[in-house]
Structure 1
Amino acid sequence: MNGQQTDGELTDGRGPRAADCCARGHSLTDGEVAADVETLAALGNDTRYEALRFVAEADDAVCGCELEPSLGVSQGAVSQALSRLFSTGLVERRKEGRWRYYSATPRATRLLDVLGDTRSTADD
Structure 2
Amino acid sequence: MEGRETDTKSTEAKGPQTADCCSVEHSLTDRAVAADVQTLAALGNDTRYEALRLIAAGDDAVCVCELEPALGVSQGAVSQALSKLFSAGLVERRKEGRWRYYTATPRAERLLRVLDDTRSPDDD
TM-score between the two structures when normalised by the length of structure 1: 0.86
Output the amino acid matched with 2:46. Answer: D
- Alpha carbons of 1:85 and 1:26: their partners in 2 closer, same or farther (altered >3 Å)? same
Listed one character per residue, the Cα deviations across residues 2-25 of structure 1 (whole Å, up to 9, x for unaligned) are 22xxxxxxx31x356362221121
How many residue pairs end up in the alignment? 114
Distance 1:18 1:43 in 2: 39
Q: Which residue of 1 is the match for residue 50 of structure 2? A: 50
1:95 aligns with 2:84: no
Corresponding letter in the other structure for 1:118: T
Structure-1 separation of matches of 2:60 and 2:16 = 58
Q: Which residue does the alignment assign to 1:85?
A: 85
Residue 119 of structure 1 deviates from its aligned partner by: 0.7
Deviations 1:38-86 (A, max 9, x none): 1000000000000000000110000011000000000000000001000
Instruction: Give the counterpart letter for 2:79 in structure 1.
Output: S
Q: Superposition RMSD on alpha carbons, in Å?
A: 1.5
Q: In structure 2, what is the Cα distance between the partners aligned to 1:15 and 1:81?
A: 53
Determine which structure has more spread, i.e. the larger CA radius of gyration: 2
Distance 2:18 2:73 in 1: 50
More helix by share: 2
Gaps of 5+ in 1: 4-10
Q: 112-121 or 95-104: which moved more?
A: 112-121
Superposition TM-score, scaled by structure 2 size: 0.86
Greater relative contact order (Cα < 8 A, sep 6+):
2
| Aligned 1:1-124 pairs, distance under 5 A | 1-2=8-9, 3=11, 11-12=12-13, 14=14, 17=17, 19-120=19-120
Closer/same/farther in 2, CA of residues 82 and 17 from structure 1, 3 Å limit: same
Name the CA shift for 1:18/1:109 in 2 (closer, same or farther; >3 Å): farther
Unaligned runs of 5+ in 2: 1-7
- CA pair 96-120 structure 1, distance change in 2 beyond 3 A: same
- Over the matched positions of the two proteins, sequence identity in percent amounts to 75
In the aligned structure 1, how far is the partner of 2:15 from the partner of 2:48?
Answer: 47
